[in-house]
Amino acid sequence: MPSSDDTQFTIEQVRHLASLVRIELTDSEVEEFRSELASILSHIDALAEIDTTDVPPTNNGADLLNVKDDDASRPSLPREQIMANAPQREDDYFRVHAVLDQS
């Protein structure tokens, strides 16, 4: 991989991104992803050279806007079937670590 591209993407940036997306990474993963992302970005950078003055963005795959659902009630999924997939439950609650600090 070209070293000039490698230097554009730092270890600190990878760590920051990983914290944003809540993925724990090992030190070796951080270094591997740094190198791979730098390489991928070096191929993507050609995009910047395209003149897009006055070109509107395409936001979705179809040209559909403001599709509305009928304002009608319908049954929800059975609670037990939903809860059956919980990694950890307590009665009908999902069990997780305390979200708020107790102190």
Residue numbers at the binding site for other proteins (CB under 8 A): 13-14, 17-18, 20-25, 29, 33, 36-37, 39-41, 43-44, 46-48, 50, 52, 55-62, 64, 67, 69-70, 77-78, 81-82, 84-88, 94, 96-99
Closest CA to 7 of 55, 42, 56: 42
- Tell me how far, at minimum, the Cβ of 8 lies from other proteins, in Å: 12
- Tell me how far, at minimum, the Cβ of 91 lies from other proteins, in Å: 15
Say which residues have a Cβ less than 8 Å from residue 15's Cβ, sequence separation at least 6.
25, 30
